[in-house]
Amino acid sequence: MECKGIREKLCAYLEGVVSPEENRLIEEHLNSCQECGNNLADLKKAGELVKDLAEVEPPAWLTQKIMSRVRAEEEKKRGIFQKLFYPLRIKVPIEALATVLIAVTAVYVFRAVEPEMKLAHLPAPTKPVITKEETAKPPQEIPKDSPSSRKKAAFKDHTERDSAKVSSVPPGSEEKPIKKEDKSALPSPAEKPLTAEKKETATEILGKGESIAVPGAAKETGNGKKLAAAPMVKESAVVKPGPVDLTVRVKDVRIAGREVENFLGQLGARKIKRESSEEKEVLTAELKAMQVKEFLEKLKAIGEIKEKGMPLDISEGDIAIRVEIVSIP
Amino acid sequence: MGEKNRVKADEDYQLVCLCQKGDIDAFEALVEKHQKKMLNIAYRMIGNYEEACEAVQDAFLSAYRAIRKFRGESRFSTWLYSIMINLSKNRLKKVKARFHREGLSIDDPGEDGSRRFRGDPPAHGLSVVEQLEKREIQTRVQECINILGEEYREVLVLRDVQGFSYEEIRAILKIPDGTVKSRLFRARDALKECLKKALGDL
C-alpha cells in the first residue's frame, strides 16, 4: 500500500519536483524498502537508456527532397499566377498590334465612307449649318465670279457683259483686289480658252446673285460698306430666308450697341459680332426667325428703325441680321 | 516579459522574416538547420526511419505553407516541432492502420523487429560486440517507446529523448505543466516495465 504510493512519486522524486515533506517520506521509505529501491534503480536505468538513444542522421537527400517539394509547390502557385498573368508577355505586343490594326482599319473605313457621309449630310442640313457655310462662302465666291465675268467681258458677249457690269458694281472695297486678279488672269493663256459651258454656269450664279442683290442695292442706303455687305447676305438668301438689314438711329451709339447686343444674346442669337467705329456700331448675328419680331420691337424702343429685306412671313430657320446703329444727326 | 526576450532571442527570426517575404533560400537554411532534430523527433515518435523521413518532408512543407501565419508568439523551432509532433502522430495512425490491414502490429515488439526498424547508427569507440549489444538495446528501447500511447510517447520523446524543458514541451504540445509531468511519469514507469521485460535485467 505504502509502496504503491511511493512508486507513483518516484519519477517526481527523480526529477526533484516533490515537496520537501514528500522528499523526506520517500527517502525514509527507500531506506527500508528494497523493492522500492530496485524500482528507483530501474527507473534511473530506463531513463538513462532512453537518453542514450543515439541520434539518427538525416539522409543526405532530405534537404533537397524537401526543397524540391517546396519549389514544386511554389511553381504550382506561380502556375496559377502565370495562367492569369504570364500571357502578358505575349499579350502586350498582340494587344498593341491589334490596337494599331483597329486604328488603321478605322481610318481606312472612315476615308472610304467619308464621301457618302458628305452626301448624306448635304440633303438634310440643319439650317444653322447652311447659314454658316453660306456666310463663309461669299467672300470666296465673289472673286471667283468676278473674274469669270470679266473674262466674259473680254469675249465681248453683250448679254454677259451686262451681268458683269452688275457684278462689278456692288463690292466697292473688294473691287481692287479683284481687278488685280483679273489683270493677272487675263494674259494667262490657260484662262482664255474657257468653254462656253463654264461661262454659262458663271452667269447662272451671277444671275441668281443679281436677282436678289438688286432689290437690296436698289434701296439706296447710300452707304458703301453696307453695299459691300449686301452681296454676302444675298448669297445666303439664295438658299435660306432673306437677311434682315436694319439701321437704327439713336442718340448714343455705344450704349445702343451694347443694348442691341444684349437683346440678341437674350433672344438666343448666334454668331453675334459687334464692330465699333467712330460714328456707328455694326452688329451681325443669326437669329431665329420667330424671334425677329420681338427683336424689332425691342429695337424700336431704342430708336428709329429703317428696315429692308424684311421677310417677316418666315417663321422657321435662322435669319441673318445686320444692325447698323448710327447716331441721330 | 521573459517570453518577449525569448522571441527576440529567436535566432531563426531573420530567416523566418525572409521566408515570409518569399525567400525560398532562407527556408532552405531553416530546413538545413532543423531537419536533424525534426527527423529525430519523428523517428522516435514513429519508430520507423523511412516513415519519419516522409513525415519530416510533410512537416517542412506544411511549415512552408503556413509560414506567413507564423506571428512569432513562440520561437520558430517550437512552432516547427509542434507541427512535427502533430504530423508524426498522423503518420503513426496511418502506419498502424496499414499494419493492421496487413495483419501485423507495429506495437508488437520483438517479432521481426529488426526488419521493421532500421537500426540506430553504431556508436563509435565501442567494440563490434558492444556495438551490436548497444544497437540491440536501442532497438528494444525504441520498441518499448512504440508501445506507449501517443500522448505518453510525445512527452517522453520530447523530455527524455530530446531533452526539452518543461516550458518548451508545454509550448510545443500546448498542454498544462501538470499534465506534462503526470504523463511523463506514467510514460517512464511504463517504459521501465517494458524494458525490464524486454531486456530482462536492467
User: Domain limits at B84?
Assistant: 1-106
Are residues B34 and B111 both part of a single domain?
A: no
pLDDT in the model for residue B55:
94
Domain boundaries, chain A: 2-52, 126-223, 241-329
The beta-carbon neighbor of A70 closest among B27, B141, B192 is B27
pLDDT in the model for residue B124:
61
Q: Chain A residues contacting B, CB < 8 Å?
A: 7-8, 11-12, 15, 17, 39, 41-43, 45-47, 49-59, 62-63, 65-67, 69-71, 73-74
What integer best gives the mean pLDDT of chain A?
Answer: 68
Are residues B111 and B168 both part of a single domain?
A: yes
Q: Which amino acid is at A259?
A: E
Are residues B84 and B118 both part of a single domain?
A: no
Share of chain B above pLDDT 70, in %: 83
Helix (H, G, I), strand (E, B) or coil at A279: coil
Nearest to A329 by CA among A307, A295, A303: A303
pLDDT in the model for residue A153:
45
pLDDT in the model for residue A109:
92
Nearest to B17 by CA among B4, B5, B30: B30
Share of chain B above pLDDT 90, in %: 37
The beta-carbon neighbor of B141 closest among A43, A53, A71 is A53
pLDDT in the model for residue A100:
95
Flag whether pLDDT at B30 surpasses 60. yes
**DSSP designation for B8:** H
The number of folded domains in chain B is 2
* Torsion over CA: B160, B161, B165, B166 (sign): negative
Are residues B139 and B200 both part of a single domain?
A: yes
User: A173: which 3 cell numbers?
Assistant: 472695297
- Other CB atoms within a 10 A radius of the CB of residue A149 amount to 26
Q: How confident is the model at residue A194 (pLDDT cuts 50, 70, 90)?
A: very low
Walk across the sheet containing A270-276 and list its strands.
Answer: A270-276, A280-288, A318-327, A244-250, A304-308
Are residues B122 and B25 both part of a single domain?
A: no
Partner-chain contact A42 B192, CB within 8 Å:
yes
**DSSP designation for B157:** I
The CA distance from A309 to A191, in Å, is 37
Are residues B71 and B137 both part of a single domain?
A: no
Are residues B100 and B114 both part of a single domain?
A: no
The CA distance from A51 to B161, in Å, is 5
Are residues B44 and B127 both part of a single domain?
A: no
- B126 vs A29, which has greater pLDDT? A29
Are residues B191 and B124 both part of a single domain?
A: yes
pLDDT in the model for residue B135:
84
Nearest to B186 by CA among B196, B194, B175, B197: B194
Are residues B62 and B78 both part of a single domain?
A: yes
Flag whether pLDDT at A111 surpasses 80. yes
- Please tell me which residue of chain A has the smallest CA distance to B123: A54
Residues 6+ apart with CB under 8 A from B145: A50, B44, B47, B153, B156, B157, B161, B191
Residues 6+ apart with CB under 8 A from B59: B38, B42, B80, B83, B84, B87, B88
pLDDT in the model for residue A304:
80
The CA distance from A288 to B124, in Å, is 115
Are A13 and A26 within 8 A, CB to CB?
yes
Arithmetic mean of pLDDT, A83-87: 58
pLDDT in the model for residue A144:
46
pLDDT tens digit sequence for A220-236: 444 444 444 444 444 44
- Please tell me which residue of chain A has the smallest CA distance to B118: A56
- A311 vs A74, which has greater pLDDT? A74
What integer best gives the mean pLDDT of chain B?
Answer: 82
Flag whether pLDDT at A31 surpasses 50. yes
In sequence order, what DSSP letters do the residues of B111-135 get, joined into one string? TTHHHHSPPPPPPTTS-HHHHHHHH
pLDDT in the model for residue A141:
46
**DSSP designation for A323:** E
Query: The domain that contains B15 carries what CATH number?
Result: 1.10.1740.10
Query: The domain that contains B194 carries what CATH number?
Result: 1.10.10.10
Residues 6+ apart with CB under 8 A from A72: none
Structure ipTM: 0.78
Q: Which of B76, B106, B136 corresponds to the end of one domain?
A: B106
Interstrand relation of A244-250 and A318-327 (parallel, antiparallel or unpaired) = parallel
Arithmetic mean of pLDDT, B141-151: 90
Flag whether pLDDT at A131 surpasses 80. no
Helix (H, G, I), strand (E, B) or coil at A78: helix
pLDDT in the model for residue A114:
78
Question: Dihedral (C-alpha) A312, A315, A319, A325: value to the nearest 10 degrees?
Answer: 40
Select, from the ranges A58-67, A182-191, A224-233, the one with the highest average predicted confidence (pLDDT): A58-67
* Torsion over CA: A168, A172, A174, A178 (sign): positive
Q: Which of B74, B89, B106 corresponds to the end of one domain?
A: B106
The beta-carbon neighbor of A50 closest among B65, B121, B161 is B161
Are residues B129 and B158 both part of a single domain?
A: yes
Are B54 and B124 within 8 A, CB to CB?
no
- Please tell me which residue of chain A has the smallest CA distance to B139: A53
Are residues B102 and B145 both part of a single domain?
A: no
pLDDT in the model for residue A227:
46
**Strands, E, within B150-194: which ranges?**
none
Arithmetic mean of pLDDT, B89-98: 88
Q: How confident is the model at residue B32 (pLDDT cuts 50, 70, 90)?
A: very high
Flag whether pLDDT at A197 surpasses 50. no
Q: Which amino acid is at A58?
A: P
- Please tell me which residue of chain A has the smallest CA distance to B159: A51
Global pTM?
0.50
Flag whether pLDDT at A151 surpasses 60. no
Q: Which of B59, B81, B106 corresponds to the end of one domain?
A: B106
Flag whether pLDDT at A310 surpasses 70. no
Arithmetic mean of pLDDT, B50-73: 91
